[in-house]
Amino acid sequence: MTKSTWHQGELIEVAIADLSDTGDGVGRFMERVVFVPDTVPGDRVLVRLLHVKPNYAHGKVHQLLEPSPHRIRPSCIVADKCGGCQWQHIDYEYQLIAKRHQVIQALQRIGGFAQPPVDPVLVTASSLGYRNKATYPLDVSATGQVQAGYYQKGSHHVVNLNQCPVQDPRLNPLLAQVKQDIQQRGWPIYDEKRHQGQIRHLGLRIGRRTGEILLTLVVKEGNLPGIEQQAQEWLQRYPQLVGVSLNRNPERTNAIFGRETRCIAGVPYLREIFAGLEFQVRPDTFFQVFTETAEALLQVIESQLNLQGHETLIDAYCGIGTLTLPLCKQVRQAIGLELQPEAVQQAIVNAQHNGINNVEFQVGAVEKLLPKMGIIPDVVLLDPPRKGCDRIVIESLLASKPARIVYVSCKVATLARDLKLLCADGIYTIQRIQSADFFPQTSHVEAAAFLVLSQSGKDN
């Protein structure tokens, strides 16, 4: 093959040297980049080219010629098919090295920071059995059996599971049996192509510290015949199950949950202990899936801020107050901003339940609320969705100039973009960046950036 030829379907030999931010192995062939899923830096592989562009291509492993020293046997028997994890074939220590490198690369390439101060990745408990939440799409096999699992890589074909090594093992007994119950009830499974049927997803959630479990069925319409009786049977069968709910999602959408959730039996929330506080967590509440690592990152935030009790804190994108409420104990006043009214209601309940009265929560988009605050807080905590902060949020911070900003991010590309704006003209400087592994066995990495207002920022 010459440099000018580059054809779909051809076999090429590639040495894998890096990992992309989507988890694929990265190698080079004739000065062009090749992305290959299910590979590890150090692998030498024969690759079948699938999607070819002038300067790069995507391929799949045709033959493993020489394995990397970082390659291991996956813990899951369907890891090569299931799209839930990308990195079970990579030893965990190397996963952490790759994730820190991912943060550094984004800050250098997108943010323009020559030597970003990125700490080693924060880890806590086991890299398996950590997920406190699992939401499985449902399907029907060719023989008519109800299936639940994650989608196969690159498709919407469900890989059937009876257990999952990354979810809390206390959820596994429910997964296999609930499928059988759905089968016996004859409830129709949703067909996304035809937009017909009823049950779309099975949701399981557990309080890691309390052991309380919620079971939720996401349905196209509002009811299932016999659901009340079945819900009571589930509550009797599983002592740790505290609530069964139906979530209604009638839309043609990839979003899992709809707007309406109705408790069928038990209670509509589970209790979880986080940072010494008791939280009520509902089926569709955002709550970090790795409780222990989220708590460890909070401890890093507390240590780095070293709050003295006189500060005003604004927590933008505060959710149910997961970070806001623990920090309330260390400040004079806290204000949480959140778009979702249901999350704010839960935050208020959680504050009252824990006897916290120096906090207020406001409903609305952060980009609309923050410019109207009328105060200059001592600390602003940012924890936006993957798309990062709206430009108005950044401009508002640059105008009000809080002394310190903590930016917690679930997508380092948008973190790097926003830090570049905040640190432009030397207004803010980065003290440190703590990377954290909230999703072991996947390519996802979180990071918390700690910014301080520089002297030039104070003078301007």
What one-character-per-residue DSSP string does 256-309 give?
S--SEEEEEEE-S-EEEEETTEEEEE-TT----S-HHHHHHHHHHHHHHH---S
How confident is the model over 6-36, as pLDDT tens digits? 889 999 999 999 999 889 999 999 889 999 9
pLDDT for residue 288: 93
Angle between helices 412-422 and 92-109 (to 10 degrees): 40
**Token representation of residue 347:** 């935050």
- 410 catalytically annotated: yes
Q: Reduced to 3 DSSP states, what percent helix, strand and coil does the chain have, rounded to the nearest 5?
A: 25, 35, 40
Q: If 0-12 CB within 10 Å is exposed, 13-18 middle and 19+ buried, where does residue 120 land?
A: exposed
Tell me which of 82, 85, 389, 410 is the catalytic residue.
410
**Cα separation of 399 and 394, whole Å?**
9
How confident is the model over 398-439, as pLDDT tens digits? 999 999 999 999 999 999 999 999 999 899 999 999 999 999
Tokens 């079945």 found at:
230
pLDDT for residue 3: 54
Would strands 260-266 and 199-206 be described as parallel, antiparallel, or unpaired? unpaired
What is the longest distance spanned by two Cα atoms in the chain? 72
The share of the chain scoring above pLDDT 70, in percent, equals 98
How confident is the model over 335-344, as pLDDT tens digits? 999 999 999 9
Query: Where in 131-266 does DSSP place strands (E)?
Result: 133-140, 146-151, 158-160, 199-206, 213-219, 241-248, 260-266
Query: Where in 305-371 does DSSP place strands (E)?
Result: 312-316, 333-338, 359-363
Type of residue found at 66: E
Type of residue found at 288: Q
How confident is the model over 211-244, as pLDDT tens digits? 999 999 999 987 899 999 999 999 999 999 999 9
**Cα separation of 298 and 292, whole Å?**
10
SS3 434: strand
Q: How many helices (H) and strands (E) does the chain have?
A: 10, 22
Q: To 10 degrees, the CA torsion angle through 270, 165, 39, 149?
A: -70
8 A C-beta contact, residue 337 and residue 318 = yes
**Token representation of residue 405:** 């900003």
How confident is the model over 52-81, as pLDDT tens digits? 998 999 999 999 999 999 999 998 988 888
